[in-house]
Structure 1
């Protein structure tokens, strides 16, 4: 049969109809907040204490529960969710294991989604940023977050089918500090901010960006999202 709509049509019925979502690797809550705005009930899973604290303060008095756990060992109950989402987090864990864990969490016919906001690498601002990073991190690569996620989902045909892919461009007005903060939040192996070396390297990157980029700019991104329906 047809799946539920992604958001209840009538806000008054939100409590009755609201989708229960596990947002895995929720970070500071960017995707969780969008889900809450659409009337969903959210369980946000984030192992990083500093990020989770920011997320908690941003979502006070909302229909959300924060859990300190990793995506692969979330400790959440079996078959408890209509939707499991990964906002810029599916690439930082073993994706096969993450799909198995998502299937465990989902109700029959529930949906899994993984999504990223990708910078347009031809944007002049982005070109300067890449140059700054490559100068300081010569072996920098963008990793699996830019790969097509369809093959890894198709390897798990026993768990998921009906793959849906959507993408959309958008322009975002940023100032240099919010842009640097976005870079800072990127999970990658090059600057681990828990270490003094990682913090020192990132401070050098931020210094160069402040000197080489304007104080405000519009920047193009593309959101890319893969979804699939859980098989019973």
Structure 2
């Protein structure tokens, strides 16, 4: 079977830990749906690109959307298929750059924490191809509040072990990038919403195992030892339970 996951972004070992991550702020999804819907009174047909284990897809289904979930990683997709059995969703094994979806056939296209793991230039061209004229694409992420006392401590622990630690494109604003492609998408809408997520320290550590980064590879002994050292410090310095402040941030733009 052909391996479709993009180079350096194989989430096979991380898939089972996604349940420990918070989903997007519900009101944010409501507002984005309102934007995408416009005057359309019918159920929206949505392409959820990089659908993972179905977190965003499930929120879209709950809001009456017809979803086509595109996910190249077999482990992630299998969990998503199991979570959405019997619902109005089709799962496709493909990438966000070559989705195989039909031209101009979708009312909305979403990237839930996935826009940063692919070539964004090619991803926008593919989004333009599959969306109807005047339809929106949206990319979104959940960001921890790094000014929160607990998160400051967690960041200090990580940077102690990994001084060069960076979060990459997912933490960057996307407007300037989208504006470079005005021939494809314009009328940019930015939305953010804060929310709090109660987490035990044990589940917080499990959630970190869903994170794919270049600093600790859990498939290697070196990576495992580094992650275990970080977790030991978490256990020493973080409370056993706490609330984490997150912000759902999204950028949307309309097909020209």
Corresponding residue for residue 67 of structure 2: 42
CA distance in 2, matches of 1:77, 1:193: 38
Residues 27-54 of structure 1: per-residue CA shift (max 9 Å, x gap): 1211111111111111111222222222
Corresponding residue for residue 18 of structure 1: 43
SS of 1:109's partner is strand
Q: Does 1:121 align with 2:181?
A: no
Corresponding residue for residue 205 of structure 1: 230
Q: Does 1:69 align with 2:69?
A: no
CA distance in 2, matches of 1:32, 1:132: 34
Q: 1:134 aligns with which of 121, 135, 159?
A: 159
**Relative to 1, partners in 2 of residues 1:197 and 1:86: Cα closer, same or farther, differing over 3 Å?**
farther
SS of 1:17's partner is coil
SS of 1:206's partner is helix
Q: Does 1:29 align with 2:45?
A: no
What's the TM-score, normalizing by structure 1?
A: 0.86
Corresponding residue for residue 11 of structure 1: none
Q: 1:172 aligns with which of 197, 203, 227?
A: 197
**Relative to 1, partners in 2 of residues 1:198 and 1:51: Cα closer, same or farther, differing over 3 Å?**
farther
Runs of 5+ consecutive residues of structure 2 not aligned to the other structure: 1-32
Which segment drifts farther, 193-202 or 30-39?
193-202
**Relative to 1, partners in 2 of residues 1:105 and 1:187: Cα closer, same or farther, differing over 3 Å?**
farther
What's the TM-score, normalizing by structure 2?
A: 0.79
Note the aligned Cα RMSD (angstroms): 2.1
Corresponding residue for residue 127 of structure 2: 102
CA deviation after TM superposition for structure 1 residue 196, in Å:
5.3
Runs of 5+ consecutive residues of structure 1 not aligned to the other structure: 9-15
**Relative to 1, partners in 2 of residues 1:65 and 1:144: Cα closer, same or farther, differing over 3 Å?**
same
Corresponding residue for residue 56 of structure 1: 81
**Relative to 1, partners in 2 of residues 1:224 and 1:78: Cα closer, same or farther, differing over 3 Å?**
same
Task: State the structure with bigger RCO (CA 8 A, min sep 6), 1 or 2.
Answer: 2
SS of 2:239's partner is coil
SS of 1:185's partner is coil
Q: 1:152 aligns with which of 165, 177, 180?
A: 177
Which segment drifts farther, 44-53 or 31-40?
44-53
SS of 1:108's partner is strand
Which segment drifts farther, 207-216 or 170-179?
207-216
SS of 1:77's partner is coil
Residues 103-146 of structure 1: per-residue CA shift (max 9 Å, x gap): 11101111100011110001112112212222232221111111
SS of 2:209's partner is helix
Alpha carbons 1:7, 1:40 under 8 Å: kept:
no
Alpha carbons 2:36, 2:136 under 8 Å: kept:
no
